[in-house]
Amino acid sequence: MTVEYDLVVIGGGSAGLVVASAASQTGAKVALVEKHRLGGDCLWFGCVPSKSLIQASRIAYSVKHSDRFGIYTQPPDIDFTKTIHYVQDVIRAIEPNDSPERFRGLGVNVIFGDGQFIDSKTFLVDGQKLTARAFVIATGSRPTIPDIEGLKEAGYLTNEQVFTLNHQPKSLAIIGAGPIGCELGQAFHRLGTEVILISSQNGLLSKEDPEVAQVVEQQFIKEGISIINNSKVVKIEINHNQKVLDLGNTKISVDEILVSAGRTPNLESLNLEAAGVEFNNKGVQVNSKLQTTNPKIYACGDVIGGYQFTHVAGYEASIVIQNALFFPLKKTNYRVIPWTTFTEPEVARVGLTEKQAKEQYKDVIVLKQDFYHVDRAQAENATEGFAKIITRSNGEILGGHIVGVSAGEIIHEIVLAMTHKLPVSALSGIHVYPTLSEVNSKAALLFTKQKYAKNVRLQNILKKFFSLLRGWSR
């Protein structure tokens, strides 16, 4: 049986769901093919459960450290099973937004199955041949499993198992210290697991500004998380029910291993060759209109590599909808893409790092304001970290980096300014006292202060001017 659509979307995660719902609401005839269940990584094994687990762990940490406020408690008694139930309850509360019923109600034909292209215009699934004016590949990514001798035999967890564990590991070695390793590492540690983070890089969160990553690393060390940098596991063995990781110069013995060593695109089973769609190990190749090498087939979200975030998947989906349903004119623009790693302190970022900016421009000015001098941060006993705004001498904002309490919320002021190409002075307007966002206005004020400090001529003119005024008023 052949069915004709305006759009066939393959993959029902963050990217595919946005494309399918928006397209069907324009009146287009849309099919959505999903091999497992709607919602994707973000709902089931990503953003939603990780942030819920992090919240539970923050509560545990606050309780343990409440004596700073003169509040004395017993060390918290953590019922890990109940914590996991909480995480699953949050998923259940959000799940209806992504349910097949909701999408069918919007007019989308939701088809469950693992299909493949049979030619450049036809996708075969569940015995049906789907033809369409355009296709969208939005099949996401999965954890990359490093080729380590004995890893498979020893057994390991990834983000796909960790939120449904029915027992808490006493000790956990985490391979990879990117956002997943750091967020989950701190959360498990705060819930009572002994955590050892293994990073092949020089430090944690290697994609972030090194000064920012250093603040997180110091906090992790303060909390008692073990960090092994510049190391790779060479071999794993089982000994007396313990998993023994051989790092070459040292061995560590743990209950469980969590692999968080990057992502691999889901595209093998799609028979992309039959459709003329080229790809590599990073993902499906796309142009700036998100067309693949077959211009009638689009791709977005994690499957194209790049910025692997839910909000970016949503942004790319919006570009695909316009190009695939109407005219392919809209191009992606990644100049202002924010993201946050939800460790404590949080790490939020938008735009260029100081290093990237200095590689591109000669007139870079760095404005750095610590949280220690933000009164609200003092009141909240959360003085770690800083905001760093990267500008040019004309006030153009090139990037913003905040490490500290609520950084993921505070960054949006910089995001708005960058989106609308406002100069850094736009951030120095009146801010409510005492708020954490004052870190932005204080950083922005440094622009004028630093410029004034360098402008000796202006300083001399003003000195003379005031001396004159004093003379007149005598």
Ligand X SMILES: Cc1cc2nc3c(=O)[nH]c(=O)nc-3n(C[C@H](O)[C@H](O)[C@H](O)COP(=O)(O)OP(=O)(O)OC[C@H]3O[C@@H](n4cnc5c(N)ncnc54)[C@H](O)[C@@H]3O)c2cc1C
Ligand Y SMILES: NC(=O)c1ccc[n+]([C@@H]2O[C@H](COP(=O)([O-])OP(=O)(O)OC[C@H]3O[C@@H](n4cnc5c(N)ncnc54)[C@H](O)[C@@H]3O)[C@@H](O)[C@H]2O)c1
Q: Which residues bind ligand X (CB under 6 A)?
A: 10-16, 33-36, 40-42, 45-47, 50-51, 114, 138-140, 159, 180, 266, 269-270, 301-303, 308-311, 313
Give the tokens for residue 408: 């993921």
Closer by beta carbon to ligand Y, 174 or else 320? 174
d(Cα 431, Cα 438) in Å, to the nearest integer? Answer: 6
Say how many CA atoms lie within 13 Å of 7 toward its Cβ: 34
Work out whether 450 is an interface residue with ligand Y (CB under 6 A).
Answer: no
d(Cα 40, Cα 31) in Å, to the nearest integer? Answer: 17
Contact 34, 20 (CB under 8 A): no
d(Cα 350, Cα 339) in Å, to the nearest integer? Answer: 7
Closer by beta carbon to ligand X, 190 or else 376? 190
12 binds, among ligand Y, ligand X, none (CB under 5 to 8 A by kind): ligand X
- Of the candidates 283, 393, 369, 343, the one whose C-alpha atom is nearest the C-alpha of residue 15 is 283
Residue 183 annotated as part of some ligand binding site: yes
Minimum CB separation from ligand X for residue 331, in Å?
19
Instruction: State which of residues 40, 179, 185, 338 lies at the interface with ligand Y (CB under 6 A).
Output: 179
Work out whether 447 is an interface residue with ligand Y (CB under 6 A).
Answer: no
Work out whether 183 is an interface residue with ligand Y (CB under 6 A).
Answer: yes
Work out whether 116 is an interface residue with ligand Y (CB under 6 A).
Answer: no
- Of the candidates 138, 140, 141, 139, the one whose C-alpha atom is nearest the C-alpha of residue 263 is 141
16 binds, among ligand X, ligand Y, none (CB under 5 to 8 A by kind): ligand X
Minimum CB separation from ligand X for residue 198, in Å?
17
Say how many CA atoms lie within 13 Å of 298 toward its Cβ: 32
Residue 177 annotated as part of some ligand binding site: yes
d(Cα 370, Cα 385) in Å, to the nearest integer? Answer: 6
Residue 145 annotated as part of some ligand binding site: no
DSSP per residue, 147-180: --BTHHHH--B-TTTGGG-SS--SEEEEE--SHH
- The residue assigned the tokens 């406002």 is 422
Distances (CA, A) of 244 to 143, 154, 281: 22, 9, 30
Closer by beta carbon to ligand Y, 39 or else 178? 178
Work out whether 198 is an interface residue with ligand Y (CB under 6 A).
Answer: yes
d(Cα 57, Cα 78) in Å, to the nearest integer? Answer: 10
Work out whether 180 is an interface residue with ligand Y (CB under 6 A).
Answer: yes
Kindly write out the interface string for residues 134-173 of this chain, putting x where it contacts ligand Y by CB under 6 A and - elsewhere. Answer: ------------x---------------------------
- The residue assigned the tokens 């970290």 is 385
Instruction: State which of residues 99, 116, 201, 229 lies at the interface with ligand Y (CB under 6 A).
Output: 201
Residue 35 annotated as part of some ligand binding site: no
Instruction: State which of residues 13, 115, 140, 176 lies at the interface with ligand Y (CB under 6 A).
Output: 176
* Residues contributing to the site for ligand Y (CB under 6 A): 146, 175-181, 183, 198-201, 206, 232, 260-263, 308-309, 339-342
Residues annotated in a binding site for FAD: 51, 115, 139-141, 302
Residues annotated in a binding site for NAD(+): 176-183, 262
